[in-house]
Structures are given as C-alpha cells and as structure tokens.
Amino acid sequence: MKRQKVRQLLLLLSFLLFPVTLFYFSPYLIIQGGAAGIVTGSFIVFAALFGTSLVFGRAFCGWLCPGGGLQESCRLVADKKIKRKGIRWIKYFLWAPWIAGIIGAFAAAGGFHAVDFFYMTEHGISAGSLPGLATYFAIVALIATLALTIGRRGMCYSICWMSPFMVFGTLISDKLRLPTLHLQPVPANCTSCGRCTRQCPMSIEVTAMVNRNDMRNPECILCGGCADVCPSSAIHLTFGKKENPRRASKTA
C-alpha cells in the first residue's frame, strides 16, 4: 500500500498546484489562442498527454491529474460507485466537435504563428487575476459536484476532455504492440473476493476482467489500486509488452 500512499500524495500536491496549472489544461484557451494562431500551454500539454499515453496509458489520470486529486479527496465525503457506465460516451461526443473547433480556429488564423506556453496567465500563474480566480473556483465546484453526485471520479467518467487523448494513445500503442505500463492478471490466483472491484476508483468490474484474463478497459487509469489490495497477487502493475489475452487464455 506504500505505492498508493505515494500516489495519493502526488495527486494531492497536483491539486494544491491547480491554481497555478489550471490554464495549462484549458479546453477554451487552446481555441482562443488558436484563433490568433498561438500554440498555448494547453495545446502543448494535450500533445504531451497523447504522446506519453503511447507508453503510460492513462497513468497521468491516476497519478498526476489535479482534477483526479480533487475527486479522490471527494471519496472521503461520498464514495459512490458509478452505476450508469453509459455516461462515459458523453466525453467523446463533446471531444469530437471540440477538436474540430481547434482545427477550425487555427485554419481561420492561417496556421501557427507563435508559441506562448504562458498564454493568458499572470507570470505563469493561472489564478493570478480576479477572472482567473473566479474560473478556478467555478471549475473546482464543477469537478467536486460531479464526483459527489455521479460517483467516484464522475468528471473523468463523463466530461473530461483530456482522457480521449490518452484513450486513443493507448489504442494506438496496443495496435503497434508497444511496451507499455499495464495490468497483468493471473486468473489462477484469483479467489473472486471482489476487493479489487470495490477499490477501483473508476468503478470498473476488475474481478470480471481478471477472470476473463483481459485487463483492457479504456477507463482504467493505471492507479494500481486493484493490484495493491489483492490478497492473492492475482494482478500486477507491470511494464513491458502486453500478452495477447486471447492467446494467453488459449494456452491457460
């Protein structure tokens, strides 16, 4: 469980830094900057999230996301499992027109003209002005409300505009069979105690995944919580090439 303490600490630190970093995750400023041909901090961060997900999947969500830190703190107040899994599609319906908007903004500006990582911040600090501070409190209220009403990591599940970058990155790395951070099940060790499913911050049916020898799930944020609570070492968070689950189950 030491690993989970480190993870919780990283998430908490990231959340405490959110007044500084908020604009570097902004889905709005990337379009505003794009309309002037400016590559903003959020453009660079989203590109980095996509690039790193080819190797680390959604580990950013599990270990470093400030919104994730806030939502996992909300578990202390209300710890509901997400029941309506269909809400995960909302983010993709929002993502597609948003990406079209970014492309359209840069096209209207005639392409890229400048790079300004600190675009619209006060000396690099997002909440350094009154509008920035108001935006910060509004976003924090939105994220907390979603986590407390929809359930664990309700924002990640429903509307997060960053997660599709990492979901698509993971799909590409799976296709290319790249070595990645991933979960490795050992179904023979599993006693179906259900601890992993109860622990999962993304409300995933982890026990079922272990028993079918296939841990692929686009909502998995590679937090390692399931591996750390399993009393039978039936799940490992590991790095390398993923075993082909179908081939593994044939030979099992």
- 22, 147, 166, 200: residue in contact with ligand SF4 (rule CB under 6 A): 200
Q: In a 3-state reduction of DSSP, which class is residue 38?
A: strand
Binding of ligand SF4 at residue 206 (CB under 6 A)?
Answer: yes
Q: Does 225 bind ligand SF4 (CB under 6 A)?
A: yes
The β-bridge partners of 88 are none
Distance in Å from the first CA to the final CA of the chain: 29
List the alpha helices (DSSP H) in 150-194.
154-158, 163-176
- 8 touching ligand SF4, by CB under 6 A: no
Mask 139-178, x = binds ligand SF4 (CB under 6 A)? ----------------------------------------
184 counts as binding ligand SF4 under rule CB under 6 A: no
> Who contacts 26 (Cβ-Cβ below 8 Å, separation ≥6)?
40, 42
Beta carbon of residue 63, minimum distance to ligand SF4 (angstroms, whole number) = 10
- In whole angstroms, how close is the CB of 222 to ligand SF4 at the nearest point? 5
**What stretches of 119-203 show up as alpha helix (H) in DSSP?**
130-149, 154-158, 163-176, 195-199
- With contacts defined by CB under 6 A, name the span among 132-140, 144-152, 165-173, 216-224 that binds ligand SF4: 216-224
CB atoms inside a 10 Å sphere around CB 100: 10
Beta strand spans in the chain (E): 38-40, 114-116, 180-185, 235-240
> Of these, 14, 121, 180, 207, which contacts ligand SF4 (CB under 6 A)?
207
Question: Which residues of the chain form contacts with ligand SF4 (CB under 6 A)?
Answer: 183, 190-196, 199-202, 204, 206-207, 210, 220-226, 229-230, 232, 234-235
